Amino acid sequence: MPVKKEMGLAIVGCGTIGRIRAIIARDYPGVKWMGLCDINRELGEKLKEDAGADFFTTDLDELLNRPEVNAVIVATDENNHAAPILGAAERGHALFIEKPIATDARESLSILKAIESSGVDAVMGYTQRFRRRFLAVKERLITGQIGDVHSVVTRAFMNRMVPIATVRRTQNRRHLTPMVVSGTHSLDMSMWLMEGKTPVSIYARSTDRVMSQWGTKDSTFGIFEMDDGTIFSMNISWGLPEVWPGSVYGLEIGIVGTEGVIDIEDTHRDLVLATNVQQGGGYVPDGYNPPARHVDFLTSYPPGDLHMDQLWGPMREETVSWYQRICMEQPTPHATAQDGHRNLVLTMAMDLSARRGKEVSLPVDLEELMEEDV
Ligand SMILES: NC(=O)c1ccc[n+]([C@@H]2O[C@H](COP(=O)([O-])OP(=O)(O)OC[C@H]3O[C@@H](n4cnc5c(N)ncnc54)[C@H](O)[C@@H]3O)[C@@H](O)[C@H]2O)c1
């Protein structure tokens, strides 16, 4: 079938994630032209060569002004999403934005307003929505298989190599917290599965015994109350030792309804490798030498796994699905920019409640989210 719309794709940010999406684009027939931008010329030129891209520049405007461009992936690091999003929206280009939408709640709102007034189609990279297991759960929930959901408990455990890799990219770490950077994935998943419910309050606490030396926290646990009385317990620790077999992420979600329950075990303990050969990690920062790892929960690297020089798994499904959304006008389960803003505000509200040691009513004033430690 011919594509309905050919894509001229701009990818801003040629690091780990921009690279994955560019390599997948190379093989997607609807992508007729691909241009790249990164402030790191060497990295960008290398990706241009590997992905067979048509163009590379270190100048964002030069890329976004190219006549071929009609869709943009924003894969810069967490603190640098605003300029490419705003530049794409004002030129009317469709958007795929890596999470979190921003690390400043006020900036996130102005980004959302710009997207809404431009009318562009903008989605967010909440990759785990594209896994078969979660799509199966979503379908059972929307067809009422467990009745009315009233209690949800979510627990995310992460290897500390992830936050160490994340915070090394910047000195601006104040909002690079477990919830804002990583818990946003499991919060998005939980909110998506509870679609239609709106949080009215949050009470959370955090600890920072280990990760404070890297300028972030270890864990944040909280309880949201929803507008219909549902309770949602959202918990993350990203301070697990490097030798923890989960190289990146393990998740458990329990969803209790009036007629049934869905119990999701997504810790990857069902696929264990133990070996004398030293294993790497999911995100090992340059110049950082973690202790030897000899046990690995396979499939715990969220984007997917490599075989035949190709990535297989959720990030491939998600990326191809977005190309289909643009080129074939197919409906997809991507998170919207509105979801991205909501997720940022809720994760920051957990941090605010933990800082204050008090319950926070929702919706919360965005200025309060940005206030200095209280
Ligand atoms: N969906 C997922 O599962 C998933 C997984 C990991 C990371 N992420 C998100 O993807 C984004 C990128 O993460 P990453 O791991 O690829 O980071 P990375 O550091 O590997 O890559 C980021 C790239 O952006 C470039 N960059 C920074 N500022 C720029 C600017 N102003 N203009 C152009 N280029 C710029 C950097 O030079 C770097 O090459 C982050 O928001 C991260 O949270 C999503």
CATH number at residue 327: 3.40.50.720
**Residue 332 neighbours by CB under 8 Å, 6+ apart:** 123, 321, 322, 324, 325
Total Cβ atoms within 10 A of residue 57: 18
Q: Is the peptide bond before 100 cis (omega within 30 degrees of 0)?
A: yes
Our answer on whether the CB atom of 230 is closer than 6 Å to any ligand 1 atom is no
What pLDDT score does 374 carry? 46
Do residues 140 and 196 both lie within one domain? yes
| 36 Cβ closer than 6 Å to some ligand 1 atom | no
Amino acid at 292: A
59 lines ligand 1 (CB under 6 A): no
CA of 243 to the centre of ligand 1 (A): 25
> Does residue 358 fall inside a structural domain?
no
- Measured by CA distance, the residue closest to atom 15 of ligand 1 is 16
Answer yes or no: is 161 within a domain: yes
Q: Which atom of ligand 1 is nearest to the CA of 127?
A: 1
Q: Are residues 142 and 64 in the same domain?
A: no
Angle between helix 132-142 and 184-193 (nearest 10): 30
Are 61 and 12 members of one domain?
yes
CB 71 within 8 Å of CB 7? yes
**In a domain? residue 77:** yes
Determine if ligand 1 sits within 6 Å of the CB of residue 13: yes
* Residues 120 and 137 occupy one common structural domain: no
Angle subtended at Cα 51 by Cα 48 and Cα 56, rounded to the nearest 5 degrees: 20
Chain-centroid distance of CA 332 in Å reads 17
Is the domain of 294 the same as that of 167? yes
- With a 6 Å cutoff on the Cβ, whether 63 touches ligand 1 is no
- One domain for residues 36 and 104: yes
Number of H helices and E strands in the chain, helices first, is 11, 18
Same domain for 63 and 182?
no
Residue 73, in any domain of the structure: yes
Which of 12, 16, 101 should be mutated for ligand 1, with most atoms under 8 A from CB? 16
Structural domain boundaries enclosing 245? 133-302
Examine residue 1 and state whether it is found in any structural domain, yes or no.
no
Give φ, ψ of 210 to 5 degrees: -110, -45
Q: Ligand 1: which residue has its CA nearest to atom 18?
A: 15
Do 114 and 143 belong together in one domain? no
- Whether residues 147 and 282 fall in one domain: yes
pLDDT at 231: 98
- Verify that 96 and 196 share a domain, yes or no: no
- What pLDDT, on the 0 to 100 scale, is given for residue 373? 54
Amino acid, single-letter form, for residue 152: V
Q: Provide the domain count of the chain.
A: 2
Return the half-sphere exposure (C-beta side, CA atoms, 13 A cut-off) of residue 215: 13
Q: Is 125 in the pocket of ligand 1 (CB under 6 A)?
A: yes
Residue 310 lies in a domain: no
- Is position 252 within any domain? yes
Residue-level pLDDT, tens digit, the chain, 374 residues? 788 999 999 999 999 999 999 999 999 999 999 999 999 999 999 999 999 999 999 999 999 999 999 999 999 998 899 999 999 999 999 999 999 999 999 999 999 999 999 999 999 999 999 999 999 999 999 999 999 999 999 999 999 999 998 888 777 777 889 999 999 999 999 999 999 999 999 999 999 999 999 899 999 999 999 999 999 999 999 999 999 999 999 999 999 999 999 999 999 999 999 999 999 888 887 888 889 999 999 999 999 999 998 999 999 999 999 999 999 999 999 999 999 999 999 999 999 999 999 999 999 999 999 986 54
* Residue 190 belongs to a domain: yes
pLDDT value for 126: 98
Instruction: Establish whether residue 111 lines the binding site of ligand 1, counting it when its CB lies within 6 angstroms of any ligand atom.
Output: no
Say whether both 195 and 294 belong to one domain.
Answer: yes
Q: What is the pLDDT of residue 285?
A: 79
17 lines ligand 1 (CB under 6 A): yes
- Residue whose CA lies nearest to ligand 1 atom number 31: 80
Query: How is residue 344 written in tokens?
Result: 């940022």
119 and 151 both lie in a single domain: no
Distance of alpha carbon 160 from the chain centroid: 17
Q: CATH number for the domain including 267?
A: 3.30.360.10
